[in-house]
Structure 1
């Protein structure tokens, strides 16, 4: 992107609505409640013919530096320092407030270009607030309606005038190759080829867990900076924020998500939106790290989150956080291993790593577990190997007879990866017992070294070439 723009202002003036308008998606949570946004959220914006990076920020609230509002404002200040231009959003309908004047004074001291954006200008009685904005001394305000998309052309012209055409229209560059995986996964590809794992492909990782498990602290430790808002309060994170960093030369895109409480406890609309945003992050990610509090692990909600991730087909890794608070390491670790095997039979062999987001203990092992799990999640097995394996499995444990007729498993192939999915051609697929399906899945895990990832096995009836002729004779 050619330049960076930060959206700043007091709470509930429409900053996140403007952010969503410019990125063309509903990425940021929007609600009538003031102070919804807490972390700074980056995005790729497009405004007519302009393309730039935009940062949504928390609203200004005067508070002590060590309070939650004070830490939120520190994040906003970092976004202003990082940006080339600030869009100072005011509520034209409500008019100026002392908080607006305080923020205007701070922006003047920064010495960077500022555009005053008078939002909600479509409302009746907004003219007074628009003209009051001239008293801020930051130039002519730009009237818009972020909700209805009015005034976007004027905002585009104001950005060009503030930064100059040379900055907003950089020389054309060669288009970079896309990193989208376009490999076919159907039956038409070479079944015998087992493609090598691409060590350079960017990896999308979502961090999920109960509130106050230490998810944001963990990501900050990976980045080596206070990128995400943290603190002792539970439920600080609301939006799913993505950050990028390099680990041993590989690009990692991590998603911090809101804590997921039990469904019965989620009553407020805002928390429902946060949980829905976290679920979208899980579906978009490739590997999901479920963060457990090592001092109180395996709560019922922890198990439900793991089950949700596996049902979505994601590769899962367990991280037992706050390991620095554990005293008897060996005994606790042995207990966690036993509970993992007993309470998560659907993810047999899942990788679990003790870590401390506060001290950085175990983070390299966690990243290695993420990479190894992603390799398994992307694994493809040739049809020849699968059919030899299927024959040996039937010799060791033949399919049971159902209603006096024995099932016959004839042919097996892998139809997809991410997660691994297999198709078995057999007689009477609807009669295959669930116990035999589990037997085959456990055999695949053990014999092809696929621990901890969801495995899908589907059955279909074998094609009968004489079926159509029999119908004609009838």
Structure 2
């Protein structure tokens, strides 16, 4: 499970700049849950072999009692609750403020692992100018410059140190063969709980749960028509006697971690609201994670006229166009309509994600594609595609070898992707195409 780092501090101390630095992106918004945030953003960070989730928060005023500042404080508290370690960011140039005292007091009471980070420290003497921050009672002050990238690597090492086991925690428990790990993802109130309760009631659950820590997703094994599944819950399953109850809970971190843990994700959309920003962000995270995906539009029975239904379909085409490889189903979890075909698509997506593609077949398809449509010439260079082989599964990766492949356009890659998908019936899984150009043996030779 990826560790979670939350960035906390008053406004304008550079939290967002640090967030961008940790996630190595410009805007750094992996999931911006509008309506819930002001502002709480989630991103993926990686340093060396260690991956982690970063949460950026709005300016924190712990004692705010009204208006937008109260909402921002609420979101920051949620981020701190979800985190394994907190980076409390202060402004080294502006010095200590009353607001910093209040935040420090809150974090001390909480007792959660915390690193005090003095941002904007470039060109400053670590000792004399940072000594006032020791008054916060949070131990050593760690000077950095997020804007210039100074001190970032040691900071991450310090923050992750207690969270990473001595063996680096890089090994993962192998998936049990024949079991499909399934996560149901979607924003609150789209009907995840209803769907899960319907499944667990219908499919004669092999009833036991495997709770981990309070933040871990709960895993529920069950079987359908001889196929074993492991449901990674994101809605909040609780066991009451011999009956499972699903309680709609929204923890963004829990959802992101469930997506990471799954082999197939069922993305649930609410037909009555169409595709929202939150839906698009969750879908983007699924794609970025390389997970096989099936899209289901719930509450389809509530759409009683053709025009409303057409609008929903158009919103899916426009806003989720990047998931056009995924099977789409219109369902009603409450009325148990359309659920059978969803299971077939889940099994199909899992099979596609783990598809084995032979080198001779891939190379034949590549050469046929080149013969049908030659890649465009860029300046003096025309890419030459020579052969292809499989570089990985879940998601499938195809590596193409040749010369000047850095000049292959995205449009041509999409053309090749379409050919490969059709041949291997890759429905429901992302497909990665990587280009590897052969080195020129004469490039470094003297004339």
TM-score (norm 1): 0.49
Matches within 5 A, 1:218-367: 218-224=195-201, 240-258=217-235, 274-328=251-305, 333-367=309-343
Matches within 5 A, 1:17-96: none
Partner of 1:452: 428
Q: CA deviation at 1:238?
A: 7.9
Whether contact under 8 Å (2:2, 2:257) holds in the other structure is: no
Whether contact under 8 Å (2:345, 2:428) holds in the other structure is: no
State the structure with more CA Rg.
1
Q: CA deviation at 1:449?
A: 2.1
Distance in 1 (alpha carbons) for counterparts of 2:196 and 2:384: 50
Partner of 2:174: 180
1:209–1:272 Cα change, 3 Å: closer
Paired residue secondary structure (1:204): strand
Distance in 2 (alpha carbons) for counterparts of 1:438 and 1:25: 32
Distance in 1 (alpha carbons) for counterparts of 2:382 and 2:2: 54
Distance in 2 (alpha carbons) for counterparts of 1:380 and 1:338: 34
Whether contact under 8 Å (1:238, 1:258) holds in the other structure is: no
Partner of 1:380: 356
Matches within 5 A, 1:210-221: 210-221=187-198
TM-score (norm 2): 0.52
Q: CA deviation at 1:281?
A: 0.8
Whether contact under 8 Å (1:425, 1:462) holds in the other structure is: yes
Whether contact under 8 Å (2:382, 2:407) holds in the other structure is: no
**Residue 407 (1) aligns with residue 399 (2):** no
Partner deviation per Cα, 1:75-96 (whole Å, 9 max, x = no partner)? xxxxxxxxxxxxxxxxxxxxxx
Partner deviation per Cα, 1:360-410 (whole Å, 9 max, x = no partner)? 212211111111111111112111111111111111211111122211111
Partner of 1:369: 345
Paired residue secondary structure (1:357): coil
Whether contact under 8 Å (1:341, 1:349) holds in the other structure is: no
Whether contact under 8 Å (2:274, 2:316) holds in the other structure is: no
1:338–1:448 Cα change, 3 Å: farther
Whether contact under 8 Å (1:422, 1:457) holds in the other structure is: yes
Give the stretch that moved more between structures: 435-444 or 399-408. Answer: 435-444
Whether contact under 8 Å (1:355, 1:361) holds in the other structure is: yes
Paired residue secondary structure (2:251): helix
Paired residue secondary structure (1:401): coil
1:424 alignment partner, one of 400, 405, 422:
400
The aligned length equals 260
Q: CA deviation at 1:340?
A: 3.1
1:417–1:332 Cα change, 3 Å: farther
Partner deviation per Cα, 1:385-436 (whole Å, 9 max, x = no partner)? 1111111111121111112221111111111111110111121232222222
Distance in 2 (alpha carbons) for counterparts of 1:426 and 1:215: 46
Q: CA deviation at 1:344?
A: 2.6
Paired residue secondary structure (2:356): coil
Distance in 1 (alpha carbons) for counterparts of 2:254 and 2:366: 41
Paired residue secondary structure (2:386): strand
Partner deviation per Cα, 1:231-284 (whole Å, 9 max, x = no partner)? xxxxxx98632212111122211122159xxxxxxxxxxx99921121111001
Distance in 2 (alpha carbons) for counterparts of 1:450 and 1:25: 29
Distance in 2 (alpha carbons) for counterparts of 1:442 and 1:337: 22
CA RMSD across the alignment: 3.4
Distance in 1 (alpha carbons) for counterparts of 2:314 and 2:420: 22
Whether contact under 8 Å (1:410, 1:426) holds in the other structure is: yes
Distance in 2 (alpha carbons) for counterparts of 1:324 and 1:434: 39
